[in-house]
Amino acid sequence: MSKMKRFYSEMRKGKNERSSSSTGSFEMFKITESELSDELDQEVLQGHGEKKEIELEQKIKKLAYHIREIIKVIGDDPEREGLKKTPERYSKALIEILSGYFSNPDGEVNGAIFSSDYKGLVFVGNIKFFSLCEHHMLPFFGTASIAYLPKNKIIGLSKIPRIIKVFASRLQVQERLTEEIGNFIEKTVQAEGVAVYISAYHLCLAMRGARKEDVVMETLFFSGKFKSDWEIKRIFLEKINKTDK
Ligand code: ZN
C-alpha cells in the first residue's frame, strides 16, 4: 500500500502509527509533507484515488484557498517563495491535527474490552495530548490521567491514549474534552466509577490577551464511586499529584 493510501485509510480509521511507550506519548503520522504532496499529485489528481481520498483532497484544496485569502488580508504576499506552498501545507497539517473528525472512539477501542475479576483501581497517568481550542483555534496541550474502578470489564491499556487522541483532535474546550473522555470510558467499560484529570497550557492565554504564559488549567471529572467514596477520590488525587509535573 502506498504511503498516501495508508495515510488516508489511517486517517479514516483514526489510526496513527505511534509508539506504545509507557509515557503515553504519541507520534504524528509517519509521512513527510513532501511525500504527502507528491503522492497526492500522483494518485489523487490523476484520478486513481478512491472517493474518500478525493473528498479529502477537495477539503485540502478548499482550506488552502481560504488560507491564501487570510495571508492576503493580513497583508503578506501568498505568492512569495516562502509562503507559496504554505496554504497547502497548513491545510494538510490542520486535517492531521483535527483527525478526530475522521474517526470515532468506538473504532479506536475496536472491541478491546476484556472480562476481569480485578476490583482495584486502574490508573493510567501522564498521557500527553495536543488539541486546538475552539475559541481561538490555537493549541492547548498537556497531560491527562485516567482512572477507573472495573466492575467486571477492563479496557486494553493502549486504547486509553487513543481515546484521548480522538477527542483531543477536534476543536475543543478543555472542560468538554475532560467530560467526553470520562463519559466515554464509563460507557465503554461500564465501570464502578471513572476519574479524569487534565492539566494543560493554552497558547491563546500565553500568546495573546492576558499573555499568561505559565498558567496551567486543570480540569477534573468524577463519576460513580469517585464521587461518593472519599477514600478512592483521595487515592486518585494523590496519584495525580505524584504523576503530574
Ligand atoms: Zn482559546
* The pLDDT value given to residue 211: 84
What spacing in Å lies between the alpha carbon of 205 and ligand 1's midpoint?
7
Q: Residue 217 Cα, ligand 1 centroid: separation in angstroms? A: 12
Q: Which residue in 139, 182, 148 sits closest to 164, CA to CA?
A: 182
**CA separation for the pair 209, 88 (Å, rounded):** 29
In contact, 15 and 109? CB cutoff 8 Å = no
Distance 61 CA to ligand 1 centre (A): 26
Residue 218 CA to ligand 1 center (angstroms) comes to: 15
Same domain, 134 and 159: yes
What is the C-alpha separation between 196 and 240, in angstroms, rounded? 10
Banded pLDDT at 194 (limits 50, 70, 90):
very high
Q: What range defines the domain where residue 156 resides?
A: 105-243
- Mean pLDDT score across all residues of the chain: 84
Neighbours of ion ligand 1 (CB under 5 A): 133, 135-136, 204
Q: Which pLDDT score is estimated for 149?
A: 96
- Same-domain status, 76 and 176: no
**Nearest-angstrom CA–CA distance, 16 and 11:** 8
Is the domain of 235 the same as that of 116? yes
Cα–Cα distance, 91 to 78 (Å, whole number): 14
Quick check: 56 pLDDT over 60? yes
The rounded Å distance from CA 242 to ligand 1 centre is 28
Q: Higher model confidence: residue 211 or residue 47?
A: 211
134 and 148 within one domain: yes
Pull the grid cell for residue 152. Answer: 467486571
Same structural domain for residues 87 and 110? no
Same domain, 222 and 167: yes
Domain of 193, CATH number, reads 3.30.1130.10
What backbone torsions phi and psi does residue 137 show, to the nearest 5 degrees?
55, 40
Please give the residue that has the higher pLDDT: either 174 or 4: 174
Number of domains in the chain: 2
- Rounded to the nearest whole angstrom, what is the distance from the C-alpha of residue 240 to the centroid of ligand 1? 25
